[in-house]
Amino acid sequence: MLVRAYDPVAMGECKRRIGNMIEYATDMYDAVCDADALLLVIEWKEFRIPNWEIVKDKMKQMVIIDGRNIYDGEELAMLGVYVCLLVSVFYIMKRKLLRITTISDSLFGLLKGQLNFFNHYYDVVGVASGNKYLTSVALREGVRVIDVPMKREINLLFDIQSLIILIALFIKERPYIVHTNTPKASLLSMIAAWITRVPNRIYTVTGLRFETTTGTLRYVLMIMERITCWCATKVIPEGEGVKRTLLAEKITNKTLHVILNGNINGIDIEYFQRSRGVILSADIFMSDSFTYIFVGRLVKDKGINELIHAFVRLYQRYSGIRLLLVGSFDSKLDPLEENTYQLIHNHEAISFVGFQEDVRPCFAAADVLTFPSYREGFPNVVLQAGAMGLPAIVTDISGCNEIIEDGVNGKIIKPKDETLLYETMKWFYEHKDREVLSMAKQARPMVVSRYEQNKVWEALLKEYQSLE
């Protein structure tokens, strides 16, 4: 019996595991050439609507075993195809992986494409609070999702309720791996996974909230991190900066290593580029002015107060500039100064466009990313801007100072320094015709060479497989 297989993602790993025990096809039509039966076990988009006339012409006999139940049996019967539906067999073979974030926004944004990738190797379930994006995650990623109520802020009574729900969930689902990121979901999930003896409990540390706090709150947040790390079987810092902080503050004594060059999801370099369609879509955001852009939550911790005040000061000197703000406010958890709110909504050179599901046209309409955040794990925004060919002004914090090389693809400044931010923004405007253009040319190649998404996913897959 001869088996010929095609999978645009998994063939490399398959060759590593079983070698040449089977043949490997070059495309889906090559796979069915002279075949007696076609067995479908994955549901890539290219497999959903094949040219059935080509398939029929190439196969010896039209027998299809539809392991993912994606084909219309009646339609194929009219073409003389015998279809066998085999819905559940392949799920039995896969171990269960639960990916958990506090809110559904994070599951939707931070792990785009990743859940679908791992669903080919594991039975992936996405868990988060709030139905706002859960349905979108399920449709986009092709995975099951579960809504577990959780709050980002500390709320002891509510947190205990969330913990009980997670314990019950893990008892029911019996996952092989629970993998978390975002602070609150990680704390509750790691405790629940430890209580229920989930064999593999992975915590990816994407940012440390205690870095920007003081007093009792800082102490409480550090204790929370220590508990989370203690309950985990593996702790993965998102970047070298996070790793250094974990070690310096003695948060954990577990062995720590960063996946590749850092970042939780890598960057889709094909998606984040200046394609013709993106350029055309950018027209509504375009301006003749030199444009600074910020993308992210409009909160104090992102340095928005300093950014607005520095920009307004700069505008008094140079009227040929503008600031494009992309994101949403969080007045409950981390509000801005009232004066900052007023300037955002009323200043003639500040364009506030709110949350944008597709940020590429905004990047394409800008000249430089300005990202004066107080703390990060490994910011996706800086990677996205770089892939779109934008240099960046960032602060000297974890993640940002790993992506940006000062003077090469951007500039690095001290956090919370409004004057220094003003001087750096001024430098970018005054040197826009030469030095800044040179930085822009370096931006995309530096991101592509270090943070390509598929390489990040494959590296994480190896981490999972090392547990077996």
- Here the CATH number for the domain that contains residue 77 is 3.40.50.720
Q: Indicate whether 399 pLDDT > 50.
A: yes
Closest-CA residue to 377 (of 397, 404, 405, 406):
397
pLDDT band at 143 (very low <50, low <70, confident <90, very high): very high
pLDDT at 189: 97
pLDDT tens, residue by residue, 442-451: 999 999 999 9
Is residue 414 within 8 A of residue 353, CB to CB? The reply is: no
pLDDT top residue among 42 and 359: 359
The reply to whether 53 and 194 lie within a common domain is: no
**Looking at residues 337-352, what average pLDDT do you find?**
95
11-20, 107-116, 178-187, 427-436, range with the lowest pLDDT: 11-20
Q: What's the pLDDT score for residue 266?
A: 92
**Lowest mean pLDDT segment, chosen from 78-82, 161-165, 275-279, 297-301:** 78-82
Rounded distance between C-alpha atoms, residue 442 and residue 440, angstroms = 5
Q: How confident is the model at residue 44 (pLDDT cuts 50, 70, 90)?
A: low
Residue 72 domain-assigned (yes or no):
yes
Q: Which domain holds residue 171?
A: 94-266
Of the chain, the percentage scoring pLDDT greater than 70 comes to 92
Distance CA 328, CA 407 (A): 30
pLDDT digits (tens, 9 = 90+) for 304-322: 999 999 999 999 999 999 9
Is residue 360 located within the same domain as residue 217?
A: no
Q: Is residue 456 part of a domain?
A: no
Judge whether 327 and 296 are in contact, CB under 8 Å. Answer: yes
- Domain co-membership, 251 together with 129: yes
In this prediction, residues 420-426 reach a mean pLDDT of 97
Q: In what order do the strands lie in the sheet with 82-85?
A: 38-40, 63-66, 82-85
More confident residue, 293 or 207: 293
Residues 6+ apart with CB under 8 A from 284: 361
Residue 77 falls within a domain, yes or no? yes
Q: How much is the average pLDDT of 237-244?
A: 90
- pLDDT for the residue numbered 90: 43
Indicate whether 80 and 156 sit together in one domain. Answer: no
| Residue type for position 25 | A
Residues 108-135: tens digit of each pLDDT = 988 999 999 999 999 999 999 987 789 9
pLDDT at position 25 is 84
Q: Is the pLDDT of residue 9 over 80?
A: no
- Looking at the predicted structure, is the pLDDT value of residue 171 above 50? yes
Joined tokens for residue 457: 């996913």
Q: State the pLDDT at residue 45.
A: 65
Q: Which of 55, 90, 125 is the last residue of a domain?
A: 90
CA 17 to chain centre: 28
- Both 252 and 293 in one domain: the answer is no
Q: Which two tokens stand for residue 251?
A: 């948060």
**Distance of alpha carbon 368 from alpha carbon 390, whole angstroms:** 5
pLDDT at 69 over 80: no
Handedness of CA 141, 147, 148, 152 (dihedral sign): positive
Same domain, 253 and 290: no
Rounded mean pLDDT, 345-365: 94
- Quote the number of domains for the chain: 3
Together in a domain, 422 and 283: yes
Residue 467, in any domain of the structure:
no
465: in domain = no
pTM above 0.75, yes or no: no
CATH number of the domain to which 251 belongs: 3.40.50.2000
Does some domain include residue 194?
yes
Mean pLDDT score of the chain: 89
Cα–Cα nearest to 295, from 361, 237, 196: 361
With beta carbons less than 8 A apart as the criterion, state whether 192 and 166 touch: yes
What's the mean pLDDT in 282-301? 93
Residues 6+ apart with CB under 8 A from 431: none
pLDDT score, position 16: 65
Using a pLDDT cut of 90, give the percent of the chain over it.
Answer: 67
Residues 389-412, mean pLDDT to the nearest whole number: 95
DSSP element (H, E) containing 455: helix 453-465
More confident residue, 68 or 167: 167
Q: Is residue 70 part of a domain?
A: yes
Same domain flag for 341 and 429: yes
- Whether 197 and 261 share a structural domain: yes
Determine the pLDDT at residue 448.
Answer: 94
User: Is the domain of 13 the same as that of 112?
Assistant: no
Q: Where are the beta strands (DSSP E) in 169-283?
A: 177-180, 200-205, 234-237
- Mark whether 242 and 367 lie in a shared domain: no
Of 303, 296, 263, whose CA–CA distance to 399 is shortest?
263
464 is a domain residue: no
* Burial (Cβ within 10 Å: 0-12, 13-18, ≥19) of residue 175: buried
pLDDT of residue 92: 45
Predicted confidence band of residue 96 (pLDDT cuts 50, 70, 90) = very high
Nearest to 122 by CA among 88, 86, 89, 93: 93
Q: Based on the domain organization, do 67 and 83 belong to the same domain?
A: yes
